[in-house]
Amino acid sequence: MRIAIAGGGPGGLYFAALMKQLDPRHEITVWERNAPDDTFGFGVVFSDETLGGIGNADTVIHDEMARLFARWTDIDIDIDGHTFTVGGQGFAAMSRKDLLRLLQHRAADLGVSVHYRTPAPDADELRTSYDLVVAADGINSMIRTKYADTFAPTLDHRANKYIWLGTDLVFEAFQFVVKQTEWGTMQIHGYPYSASGSTFIVEMHSDVWRRAGFDATEGETLPPGASDERAVEKIKAIFAAELAGHEVLTNNSRWLNFTTVRNRRWHDRNVVLLGDAAHTAHFSIGSGTKLAMEDALALAACLHEQPSLADALQAYETERKPVVESTQRAAQASLEWFENIGMYVGQDPAQFCFNLLTRSRRITFENLKDRDADFARRIESAFAEATGATEAVPAMFQPVDIGTLRLKNRIIVSPMDMYSAADGVPDDFHLVHLGSKALGGAGLVMTEMVCVSAEGRITPGCTGLWNDGQRDAYRRMTEFVHTRTTAKIGVQLGHSGRKGSTRLMWDGMDQPLAEDNWEVIGPSAVPYGPGCHLPREAGRADLDKVVADFAAAARRAVAAGFDLVEVHAAHGYLLSSFLSPVANKRTDEYGGPLVNRLRFPLEVFDAVRAAVPAQIPVTVRISATDWVPDGNTEHDAVEIARAFVAHGAAAIDVSSGQVTAAEQPAYGRSYQTPFADRIRQLVAAPAGVKVIAVGAISSFDDVNSILLAGRADLCALGRAHLHDPQWTLHAAADQDYRGEGAGWPIQFRAGSRKPPTSRTDKIPPRLALLRHQSDEHVHLRWTPR
């Protein structure tokens, strides 16, 4: 093949070297606009997995890299003078300049033609003259821009400012320094890359950056290669204690905003994107150089393995894109955490440290235990002490209070609509459904959304509390829970609004009934989505009736024996649609700015709170974002939560979306937890109000990690409890926990130990049973000789 590569960075050069080794007959030409020694940046970090791939593909490059590596396992975290060391991670770093030099030599030795100080020819010319054109021309890729209609790039410019520096202070481990200054929170990301230097990245929110006066050079255009020396002098003063008299090194160092690059497609006929041209991931989670070299490995392998160029490029994109997107999701969580780092300044230092380590959700409590068991025990003990517990047990099994209601653990069975009632009356199905979950060990079991009126139902199969027969049917369930289990049971009250009069979920979710429809109301005459009901705008009489219906249902809930009442103001139902500007287009006192959109939901909440005795907590579920432009955002959610807290909410149950069919949620593991985290830090925790995290939480490890990091006080799980009604008890068995937080019903106690699975006759080496992991293995420091 004739291969043209635009960009002579590590990704482009490594790909060229690999292809030449696969077939020396390939004619490969690289264009690099910079000189060979124009290397920007300081160090690059690699994972063991990446190094394994490099070792298999090119032992010469791998061995040269290994010879230059700084290796360590520790992360040192300094939080305003509180220091922590966490071991067992595993890092390898080297000078970016050294890496580029060895790749340049390797490419030259293999016969790759590299034109330095030479921009690549026009992409149309290249794709006509060459069999394959590789766009390895970086974050500002000209080739990607030229064919933007095909690649469909998105560039997400973030709020934080950072500057890439170096220092002759040789760190012994990865360094996170979080410092409170008179201007706000600043942080350092640092790591060693050789026997003589370390990378030293300074990052802060743009507001902090401006307050500190770093914007003094904002309007200046620095010449190529020049650094912002005024910023460097100020940084040296701010971090004088951390630098301990050492120098700050510059190399084209200037303030930047990180840009996350994504592309819908990575190839077009014979043009393919590689490295930063295709994707970027925030530096707090990994190295762009590492990702680019992994791209090069995959692209070369696919070209070698597939029968045609088209097949190879499609295989490359199919293989790499999901891996990169997973990395980008973790990087997005990490960069957003650092953007919001100021929220956590009040956290206990140990909890802050754990919060930082688990920010991307790639490190969890369980794998932290595998990495550094001593540190994990320290975090668990600190959580127990902070919550007033008498012993350090798994966080999910620490008791918790919602208002005056004490729960034995922090697991909630989330409300889940069953669509299985007749005339709003729950029956034996609901008794078995709720009863089995209560027997399964959860601290609190919630009903599905119980409708406050017949016309407030979602479907004909929804339960209600608009008459005494429904109240008495629910009393059977609360009595079962209270007499047969140690769980508590709560009711969620709601009104369907414009999402009512629809079919059962399995017959067509959100679709109008085929017949016997009832009139639906909403804040405005705006349907939920195409083909959905057009609601009638609610008038004063409608609103008064809804308030009265909620209050009456709340009184019946108390009479039915529920321990907690939740007002459903999420998921696009009536109260949620009043809160959202997507659904609420009113021009009266209930529409317009958020303070007006809150008015009716707060009227309903106040009526429920007044109808319920003080000792029974009233909580609220909200949608923290509408997932559409011009809808509510996480910032609006903070103000919504603040308003409900001011009106007496004992807990905020933080969900998201389902306000419009046009939503585009960013699904993923624990994807709604950051919204709960923000509300907890900014509103709930200072007020002594609990926050409940929901959404794709399914493992006890994720639950414990969320709780230990202080992102929420409780976790509500829905589908996990449908999969396993005894999820909580099984989680206790998996963690070898036996205690009041997960007491097995006496009838089930024989099942409290996991049954044996497959038989094995393998006998482990006896001495292995006596071996303990040494501190030297857990805590490896970089000590250059």
Q: CB-based burial of residue 648 (10 Å sphere; 0-12 exposed, 13-18 middle, 19+ buried)?
A: middle
Q: Which of 656, 642, 648, 662 is nearest to 619 (CA)?
A: 648
Q: What is the DSSP letter of 201?
A: E
Helix (H) or strand (E) holding 195: none
Bridge partners for 259 per DSSP: 157
Neighbours of 117 (CB within 10 A): 11
d(C-alpha 157, C-alpha 145), whole Å? 16
d(C-alpha 350, C-alpha 83), whole Å? 9
Q: 315-354 burial, b if ≥16 CB within 10 A, otherwise e?
A: bbbeebbeebeebbbbbbbbbbbbbbbbbbeebbbbbbbb
| Cα radius of gyration (the chain) | 29
Q: 83 vs 71, 76, 175, 177, 350, CA distance in Å?
A: 21, 7, 11, 9, 9
* C-alpha 181 chain-centroid distance: 28
Query: What are the structure tokens assigned to 593, written together?
Result: 């700015």
Question: At CB < 8 A and 24+ separation, what contacts does 404-408 make?
Answer: 404/614, 404/615, 404/617, 405/488, 405/563, 405/564, 405/616, 405/617, 405/650, 407/443, 407/444, 407/488, 407/714, 408/443, 408/486, 408/487, 408/740, 408/741, 408/742, 408/743
Proportion of the chain in helix, strand, coil states, percent, rounded to 5 = 40, 20, 40
Q: What is the DSSP letter of 464?
A: B
Q: Which residues, in sequence order, are CB contacts of 59 under 8 Å at separation 6+?
A: none
Cα torsion 621, 625, 626, 632: sign: positive
> H-type helices in 440-537, by residue range?
468-484, 505-508
Catalytic residue among 14, 147, 573, 590: 573
Cα torsion 168, 170, 176, 182: sign: negative
Bridge partners for 188 per DSSP: 177, 202
Q: Which residues, in sequence order, are CB contacts of 219 under 8 Å at separation 6+?
A: none
- Is 14 a known active-site residue? no
Could you list the active site residues? 573
